[in-house]
Each structure stands twice: as structure tokens, then as C-alpha cells.
């Protein structure tokens, strides 16, 4: 099962090696992270990042190994934005010459970059951004400016205190005309003393949800006061401004401006499956240790994992963790395929890649945030302690519902794609890829489900048909209702809640389909495929209705702990007293409690100042 989860034996081996490297290095300790002040936490992140880079260079780590190293260090920091957004933005939107110049420095960490798109006033509506980049032909420069308070850049990770450079998104103005949003490379801080360059006001936006968690990241605010940059710092793969100030389009679609977001959304699906699997691992292992109540006859107490209610709340998450993992692996393939096509100037699959990344990012991160919260409840009171690992896991993953596109906004993008596809089907065009099922419209609009028993849910063809019929009927229903509205725009707006549901149904179909396709591959190991078939059945059935699932849960229960052990997480990475591999939960909780700064003294700070006078006063009063 470890191999099925990781993707290959090689993947298991590399992941194990990197996880052990991190777990055995004292610099990467994280057990007291939630007790650090913001300043201490930030400094700790700088230290970890520098040490990680040193180890990466010393050990000549490959890209795959370095990524895993970062993953197991498990602390958001400026390096994420540098590697996951700054570098890809230059790769996707820069010319070859620009790539050569900037990526050479970025790959060696001679500069640290971030992705500065969102502003105080606008995040979702990228076309509404206000920062301006006005071309001055007299000096061959762009003047970068924040004309209003709401145009202040707000949120970019690493911007607050660390980044030396950024790809800044701004409205390009030349020859008096506004050409909309484009990307520009800007140096923000001196490479000598790290002070902000003239005209740039920059700082951190303040503490965020939860202790520890995303507070390790210096999300930043930046205002620009007529800052000049050379013309060649406009990213010029999509469009150029000539020396004379003429605006020239390239032959690539302008949507490639959004390409970095497509890339990151795809990586976020993998992050979601990992976060969900960690929460499930903690809740399942703890559920096997925790006992409450016994039989009336005075028998031994029951493991809480044996309660049917616990199983019906927890096992759909276990199944979802596997489902998201497999769809994430497929999405990575899809992204690579689209990128290769783009390189040979085939842009035909871009809309589908956008819909798939946006939809899957949205559905998997929302489900994961909800599931982590529920896993806290599934662990009872102990789940609410920082030492359970769950509060921080929740706080770090919750913003994934918002960053890289608010989940509802992204689902509306999927819905827009679906409405277009329905109208193309109506005019006789055969849909392809993840919407190919819509071509089977006659049958799917009328067919009746053959699913009656739990066993039927293990029949892939029956499952697929149910999900296809559901998704198609919801999409067609929306399209029909939109066509009755006075205008397409009004209809879309009026029906947006239904459109979001139709988009979710389509995305769930993709997840179910990819799970089924995974089961058609050669899967080695005794009983592994059978367990995955049950999990696939649970994933599909829990989305439709909860009846009849008990039988499947009973079949999964004997292997539940093994199914979470297959995630192959070290105790260091899991960071949970409840989810420990050895099950020694109570000693761990007890030990963790004593690490709290409140326990550094027996009598607390503040006793002399506030508690003692209060108690003495009450004592005096009672004697009167």
C-alpha cells in the first residue's frame, strides 16, 4: 500500500530518506513551535531555510529530494514563494533572455523572489488591480506606482521581510493607453544591507490565524512611489513594449498571464491530500488507542474506532485521502502534458487544464479543511491540544481555500467552462477529455441507476454512470435556466449557487473516475487492490448518500491502522502526540504538557501583581 500511495518503490525510498534526514537533524525540531513568539518563529524559519539550503548543496540533492526535504521540514516560509511562484512566473512569462538573466541568480539564491499580485482592494478580480506601470520613453523605463491605498500590494508571502525581488503585477500604460495587467520584475531591497530601495515602503501585514502555523511566513504589504525600472524588466513573452513605447502582442494567448496560478493550483491538490492524510492518520491511530465504555457485562472498554458512528465520520476521510492522492497524481500528469503542448504552440487544452486545476484545487482544499476540523472532534478533548498536531494542521491548511483563488470564485470558473461545453454539445461538437461524458447526453439524461446494493458500488461502470448522469443533469439544468434569463450574464449571476453545485458534481466525477482508473492499473501486494476498491466505493457512495455504507466500513476497519501507516509518516512529520506510531499516547501528552512556557515556573508570572492582591483582598473582605 505504501507503494500505491507514493506512486513507486523509488518514491517510497526517496521519501523515507528525506523524512529521516529531517527528523534526525536538531535544527528542524518543531515540537515547541506553537510556543514561540512571532519574532522567534520568523527567525526560526530563516534558520531552517538557510540550513536546508546548506544541506541541499552539501548533499547535492536532486530537485525531487529538495522538494521532499522542504515538505518534511513542514514550515511555510519565503522559499515556497521563491520556488513555487517567482521562478515559475519568470519561466512562463519571461523571454529566453530574461530567463537566463534572472533564473541564473534565482537558482543560486543570490536573489529571493516573491509573487506580488494581490492588493488591499482586489485579490480575486485580477483585472481590477490598480498598481500602474507607466512607460517613460524619455528614459526607457517603467514608473511603478501605487496610486491609492487600496492599490498597496497585500499578502505576498516573503514580501514582508525577506524578498529581495518580486514579480509585480501592474496595469501597463504606454502612449496614454491602459493595456491591462502585466508582470514586471522589480528589485525591492538592497543586496548589500537588505534595506528597501528608494520609493518602496514595505512591511509585514501582521499575525494570522492560530499559533505557529502560517505565522512563520512574512506575508507583506508594499507601496510604490514612482519607482523606476528598466524597460527590459517587463516580462515580455506574452507582449512587448518597444523602445518607442509601442505595445506589441505575441502570438500566445493572454491567459498565459495566469499560468503560474495553474501550476500552483495543481501542486495544492497534492498538498491537500497530504494534509488530509495526516489528520486521518492521527484520528485513526488515536481511535485505536483511545477506549471509552465497556459492555454492560463488565467486559473490556471499547476502542473508540470500533464505534459505528466514529467509522461513519472518519472512514470517508480515509477514502478521500486516497482519492485526492490519486487525482493529484493524475493532475500532475495533465499539467505536464499541457505544458509540453504549449511549448509546441498547441493551446487547445488550456481551458480544460484551467478548469481541472481550479476545480480540483477548490474541492480538495475545502474538503480537507472541513475534515481536519472534524478530526479534531473525532479525537475528543485531546484533539484540541496543540500537541495533537491538529490545530496547527488546520490553521496552515485553511487558507488554501482562499489563496491561489477563492474556492467559490474558482468553481464559478469551472461552471463557466461547463456552460460553454453544454452549448457546444448542443451545436453538435463532440467534447473531449474530462468532459467527454457530455457527448453521451441522450443516454445520461434518461438512464436509471442499476445500483441497489453495496456490492453494486464496487462495480466501476455503475459508479461512473451515476456520477456522469448527476453531473450532466445538473449542468444541463443550469444551462436551460440561464437561457430563460434576460441575458446570459444575469442568468449566470442569478443561478450562481446552482452553478457552484454543478461544478462540484463535475469535479467529484473526475475524482471518482481517476480512482477507478487507478484500480485498473497493475497494483502489486496481497489484498492491496481489494482494500482500494473498498475505499473507492466508500468515497463514491458517501457523496451520494450515507445508507448502506456500514458494511463497507466493517470491511475496512480491520485494516484501518495499516491504511494510515501506508502514508509512511515519521513521528517528526506528523507532529502529534495522539498519532504516534508506537501508540504511547498518554505518556507523550503528559510529557508535552510540561514543555509549555507556563510550566517554566510553579508560581506563574503575574501572581504578585494580580492574583495575590485579589486573593488577599477577598480574604480581608470575608473577615469583615
Ligand X SMILES: Cc1cc2nc3c(=O)[nH]c(=O)nc-3n(C[C@H](O)[C@H](O)[C@H](O)COP(=O)(O)OP(=O)(O)OC[C@H]3O[C@@H](n4cnc5c(N)ncnc54)[C@H](O)[C@@H]3O)c2cc1C
Ligand Y SMILES: CCCCCCCCCCCCCCCCCCCCCCC/C=C/C(=O)SCCNC(=O)CCNC(=O)[C@H](O)C(C)(C)COP(=O)(O)OP(=O)(O)OC[C@H]1O[C@@H](n2cnc3c(N)ncnc32)[C@H](O)[C@@H]1OP(=O)(O)O
Which of 409, 441, 519, 544 is the binder for ligand X (CB under 6 A)?
Answer: 409
Backbone angles phi, psi at 575, to 5 degrees: 55, 45
**406 binding ligand X? (CB under 6 A):** yes
Strands 132-136 and 165-174, by their bridges, are: parallel
**262 binding ligand Y? (CB under 6 A):** yes
Q: How far apart are CA 75 and CA 80, in angstroms?
A: 10
Min dist CB 59 to ligand Y, Å, is: 11
- CA angle 61/79/13 to nearest 5° reads 35
**460 binding ligand X? (CB under 6 A):** no
Q: For ligand Y, give the closer residue by CB, 174 or 397.
A: 397
- The single residue listed with the C-alpha cell 482544499 is 365
**209 binding ligand X? (CB under 6 A):** no
Q: For ligand Y, give the closer residue by CB, 197 or 409.
A: 409
**CB under 8 Å to 403, separation ≥6 — which residues?**
155
Residue 238 pairs in a beta bridge with none
Strands 200-204 and 141-145, by their bridges, are: unpaired
Residue 242 CB neighbours (<10 A): 12
Instruction: Select from ligand X, ligand Y, none the partner in contact with residue 408, using the beta carbon and a kind-dependent cut-off of 5 to 8 Å.
Output: ligand X
**131 binding ligand X? (CB under 6 A):** no
- Binding marks (x or -) toward ligand X, 140..179, rule CB under 6 A? ---------------xxx----------------------
Comparing CA positions, the residue from 373, 359, 493 lying closest to residue 417 is 359
**160 binding ligand Y? (CB under 6 A):** no
* Host H or E run for residue 240: strand 239-241
Q: What three-state secondary structure class fits 114?
A: strand
**220 binding ligand X? (CB under 6 A):** no
Q: How far apart are CA 536 and CA 4, in angstroms?
A: 14
Q: How far apart are CA 518 and CA 5, in angstroms?
A: 11
For residue 156, give the C-alpha cell.
505576498
What b/e readout covers 299-311, taking b as 16+ CB neighbours within 10 angstroms?
A: eeeebbbeeeebb
Q: How far apart are CA 362 and CA 409, in angstroms?
A: 9
Distances (CA, A) of 417 to 431, 496, 510: 12, 13, 15
- Binding marks (x or -) toward ligand Y, 75..114, rule CB under 6 A? x-x-xx--xx------------------------------
Provide the 8-state DSSP code for 522. -
Alpha-helical runs (H) found in 203-349? 259-289, 308-343
**409 binding ligand Y? (CB under 6 A):** yes
Is 242 known to sit in a ligand binding site?
Answer: no
Q: For ligand X, give the closer residue by CB, 12 or 205.
A: 205
Q: What three-state secondary structure class fits 102?
A: helix
CA dihedral angle for residue 158, residue 164, residue 170, residue 172, rounded to 10 degrees: -160
- Binding marks (x or -) toward ligand Y, 108..137, rule CB under 6 A? -------x-xx----xxxxx----------
Find the catalytic residue in 352, 404, 465, 468.
Answer: 404
What count of residues does the chain have?
Answer: 624
**124 binding ligand X? (CB under 6 A):** yes
CB 433 within 8 A of CB 482: no
Interface with ligand Y in residues 353-372 (CB under 6 A): 354
For residue 620, give the C-alpha cell.
480581608
Choices 44-52, 221-229, 373-381, 407-415; region in contact with ligand X by CB under 6 A: 407-415
**403 binding ligand X? (CB under 6 A):** yes
Choices 110-118, 251-259, 313-321, 431-439; region in contact with ligand X by CB under 6 A: 110-118
Instruction: Select from ligand X, ligand Y, none the partner in contact with residue 569, using the beta carbon and a kind-dependent cut-off of 5 to 8 Å.
Output: none
Residue 241 pairs in a beta bridge with 247
Provide the 8-state DSSP code for 71. H
Choices 9-17, 99-107, 403-411, 545-553; region in contact with ligand X by CB under 6 A: 403-411
Q: For ligand Y, give the closer residue by CB, 259 or 537.
A: 259
Q: For ligand X, give the closer residue by CB, 154 or 330.
A: 154
Choices 193-201, 258-266, 446-454, 559-567; region in contact with ligand Y by CB under 6 A: 258-266
Is 183 known to sit in a ligand binding site?
Answer: no
Please say if 494 is a catalytic residue: no
**67 binding ligand Y? (CB under 6 A):** yes
Which of 34, 117, 387, 533 is the binder for ligand X (CB under 6 A)?
Answer: 117
Min dist CB 93 to ligand X, Å, is: 14
Min dist CB 206 to ligand X, Å, is: 12
Instruction: Select from ligand X, ligand Y, none the partner in contact with residue 354, using the beta carbon and a kind-dependent cut-off of 5 to 8 Å.
Output: ligand Y
* Total chain residues near ligand Y (CB under 6 A): 41
Backbone angles phi, psi at 203, to 5 degrees: -170, 180
Q: What three-state secondary structure class fits 5?
A: helix
Min dist CB 156 to ligand X, Å, is: 4
Min dist CB 399 to ligand X, Å, is: 4
Min dist CB 354 to ligand Y, Å, is: 4
For residue 607, give the C-alpha cell.
501572581
Residue 553 CB neighbours (<10 A): 20
Which of 30, 33, 48, 572 is the binder for ligand Y (CB under 6 A)?
Answer: 48
Residue 96 CB neighbours (<10 A): 8
Instruction: Select from ligand X, ligand Y, none the partner in contact with residue 368, using the beta carbon and a kind-dependent cut-off of 5 to 8 Å.
Output: none
Min dist CB 347 to ligand Y, Å, is: 9
Which of 405, 431, 575, 579 is the binder for ligand Y (CB under 6 A)?
Answer: 405
CB 154 within 8 A of CB 120: yes
Comparing CA positions, the residue from 589, 210, 604 lying closest to residue 385 is 589
- Binding marks (x or -) toward ligand X, 173..192, rule CB under 6 A? --------------------
**163 binding ligand Y? (CB under 6 A):** no
Min dist CB 218 to ligand Y, Å, is: 12
Binding site as annotated, residues for FAD: 118, 157
Where on the chain is the footprint of ligand Y (CB under 6 A)?
48-49, 52-53, 56, 66-67, 69-70, 73, 75, 77, 79-80, 83-84, 115, 117-118, 123-127, 157, 255, 258, 261-262, 264, 267, 271, 350-351, 354, 403-405, 409, 413, 416
Active site positions, annotated: 404
Amino acid at each position: 500500500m505504501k507503494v500505491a500511495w507514493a506512486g513507486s518503490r523509488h518514491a517510497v525510498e526517496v521519501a523515507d530518506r528525506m523524512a529521516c534526514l529531517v527528523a534526525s537533524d536538531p535544527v528542524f525540531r518543531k515540537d515547541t513551535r506553537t510556543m514561540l513568539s512571532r519574532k522567534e518563529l520568523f527567525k526560526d524559519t530563516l534558520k531552517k531555510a538557510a540550513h536546508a539550503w546548506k544541506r541541499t548543496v552539501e548533499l547535492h540533492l536532486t530537485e525531487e529530494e529538495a522538494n521532499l526535504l522542504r515538505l518534511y521540514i513542514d514550515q511555510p516560509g519565503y522559499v515556497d514563494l521563491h520556488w513555487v511562484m517567482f521562478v515559475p512566473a519568470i519561466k512562463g512569462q519571461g523571454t529566453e533572455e530574461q530567463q537566463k538573466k534572472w533564473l541564473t541568480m534565482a537558482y543560486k539564491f543570490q536573489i529571493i523572489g516573491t509573487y506580488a499580485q494581490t492588493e488591499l482592494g482586489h485579490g480575486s478580480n485580477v483585472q481590477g488591480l490598480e498598481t500602474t506601470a507607466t512607460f517613460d520613453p524619455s528614459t526607457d523605463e517603467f514608473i511603478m506606482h501605487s496610486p491609492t491605498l487600496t492599490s498597496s500590494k497585500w499578502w505576498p508571502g516573503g514580501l514582508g521581510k525577506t524578498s529581495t525581488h518580486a514579480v509585480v503585477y501592474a496595469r501597463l500604460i504606454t502612449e496614454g493607453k491602459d493595456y491591462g495587467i502585466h508582470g514586471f520584475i522589480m528589485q525591492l531591497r538592497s543586496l548589500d544591507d537588505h534595506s528597501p530601495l528608494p520609493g518602496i515602503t514595505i512591511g509585514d501585514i501582521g499575525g494570522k490565524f492560530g499559533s505557529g502555523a502560517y505565522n512563520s511566513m512574512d506575508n507583506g504589504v508594499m507601496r510604490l512611489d514612482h519607482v523606476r525600472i528598466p524597460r527590459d524588466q517587463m516580462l515580455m513573452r506574452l507582449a512587448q513594449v518597444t523602445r518607442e513605447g509601442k505595445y506589441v502582442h505575441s502570438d500566445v494567448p493572454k491567459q498565459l498571464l495566469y499560468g503560474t496560478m495553474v501550476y500552483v493550483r495543481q501542486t495544492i491538490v497534492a498538498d491537500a491530500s497530504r494534509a488530509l492524510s495526516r489528520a486521518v492518520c492521527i484520528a485513526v491511530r488515536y481511535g485505536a488507542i483511545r477506549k471509552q465504555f465497556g459492555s454492560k457485562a463488565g467486559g473490556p472498554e471499547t476502542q473508540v474506532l470500533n464505534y459505528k458512528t466514529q467509522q461513519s465520520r472518519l472512514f470517508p476521510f480515509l477514502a478521500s485521502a486516497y482519492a485526492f492522492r490519486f487525482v493529484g497524481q493524475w493532475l500532475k500528469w495533465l499539467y505536464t502534458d499541457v505544458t509540453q503542448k504549449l511549448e509546441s504552440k498547441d493551446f487547445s487544452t488550456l481551458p480544460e487544464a484551467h478548469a481541472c486545476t481550479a476545480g480540483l484545487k477548490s474541492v480538495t482544499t475545502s474538503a480537507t479543511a472541513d475534515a481536519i476540523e472534524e478530526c479534531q472532534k473525532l479525537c475528543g478533548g485531546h484533539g484540541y491540544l496543540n500537541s495533537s498536531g491538529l490545530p496547527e494542521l488546520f490553521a496552515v491548511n485553511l487558507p488554501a481555500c482562499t489563496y491561489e483563488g477563492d474556492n467559490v470564485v474558482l468553481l464559478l470558473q469551472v461552471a463557466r467552462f461547463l456552460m460553454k461545453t453544454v452549448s457546444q454539445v448542443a451545436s453538435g461538437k463532440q467534447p473531449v477529455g474530462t468532459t467527454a461524458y457530455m457527448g453521451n447526453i441522450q443516454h445520461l439524461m434518461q438512464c436509471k441507476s442499476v445500483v441497489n446494493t453495496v456490492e453494486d458500488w464496487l462495480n466501476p461502470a455503475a459508479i461512473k454512470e451515476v456520477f456522469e448522469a448527476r453531473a450532466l443533469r445538473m449542468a444541463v439544468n443550469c444551462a436551460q435556466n440561464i437561457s430563460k434569463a434576460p441575458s446570459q450574464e444575469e442568468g449566470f449571476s442569478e443561478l450562481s449557487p446552482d452553478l457552484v453545485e454543478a461544478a462540484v458534481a463535475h469535479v467529484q466525477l473526475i475524482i471518482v473516475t481517476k480512482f477507478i482508473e487507478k484500480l485498473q492499473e497493475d497494483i502489486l501486494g496481497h489484498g492491496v487492490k481489494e482494500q482500494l476498491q473498498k475505499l473507492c466505493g466508500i468515497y463514491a457512495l458517501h457523496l451520494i448518500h450515507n445508507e448502506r455504507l456500514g458494511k463497507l466500513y466493517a470491511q475496512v476497519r480491520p485494516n484501518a491502522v495499516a491504511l494510515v501507516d501506508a502514508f509512511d509518516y515519521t513521528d517528526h512529520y506528523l507532529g502529534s502526540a495522539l498519532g504516534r506510531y508506537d501508540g504511547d499516547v498518554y505518556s507523550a501528552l503528559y510529557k508535552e504538557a510540561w514543555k509549555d512556557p507556563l510550566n517554566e515556573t510553579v508560581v506563574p508570572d503575574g501572581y504578585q501583581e494580580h492574583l495575590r492582591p485579589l486573593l488577599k483582598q477577598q480574604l480581608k473582605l470575608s473577615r469583615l
